[in-house]
Homo-oligomer: A and B are copies of this chain.
């Protein structure tokens, strides 16, 4: 539905792979296989192995910048290295959940799109239109706006009912639909009972976290999306930390994907 190069690339990869799984890169020294040294160098070897073994099998990558930031500037250098290893036809979705007053949001967009070369980002809509407009001005990128997230706290504010009868996340989707410049999508958690209802609110793509470790299923997450725009289903921990040795990692990842689909 979007006339946008990142959207086109996602669609092409979904057709080619026959699934819509995006690999989340959430590097954590405490969790990497014992095969790797528990140092920033070991983390780098782990991530580069993962990228090399998965790049023929996933539709996109979603590094969460916070996991890199936790290692300070060394971690951000690692993010730069990962970025360079990801082929240009596989979208690099930088999960950063930014958003701020206009002049600041413009700086955030510079960092994520221009400095790190992100193809897509996630943004937090709490502060309203001008807090995401500088991202929307990048018309060849994709901006995923947080709508209804996969965590328990989604009930605290996101799903509160407004005076209008709508829930807050519905208002976020409806307003963003009108702000869209051929380059928006929404983050909607796979763990949400609302997921099917939410599909009807917008034709734009969904980035769906919460499958695997957080308890959502691939089949439920995918349901209905074929006729309502692209779904990008993100899996992080269930793929990153469920193997011991990088030997034949390519086959291991193929197998993990296959078992998630069935």
Contacts and interface: CB of A to CB of B under 8 A. Distances in A.
Given A156-B128, A171-B157, A111 B162 contact: no
A131 B151 contact: yes
A60 B230 CA distance: 47
Contact of A73 (B64, B77, B107): B77
Given A126-B126, A157-B125, A66 B162 contact: no
A102 interface: yes
Nearest to A155: B128
Given A72-B115, A97-B99, A110-B70, A172 B157 contact: yes
Contact of A162 (B70, B150, B162, B175): B162
Interface in A6-23: none
Q: Report the copy number of this chain in the oligomer.
A: 2
A158 B66 contact: no
A104 B168 CA distance: 23
Contacts of A168: 157, 160, 168
A223 B230 CA distance: 51
Interface string A40-72: 000000000000000000000000101101101
Contacts of A73: 73, 76-77, 80
Interface residues of A, number: 54
Contacts of A69: 107-108, 111, 115
A153 B124 contact: no
B104 A67 contact: yes
A140 interface: no
Interface of A: 26, 64, 66-67, 69-70, 72-73, 76-77, 80, 97-102, 104-105, 107-108, 110-111, 115, 124-131, 146, 149-158, 160-163, 165, 168, 171-172, 175, 209, 214
22 contacts: A66-B104, A70-B107, A70-B115, A73-B73, A101-B149, A101-B150, A124-B124, A124-B126, A125-B126, A125-B157, A126-B157, A127-B149, A128-B151, A128-B152, A128-B153, A128-B157, A129-B153, A130-B151, A130-B153, A131-B153, A162-B162, A162-B163
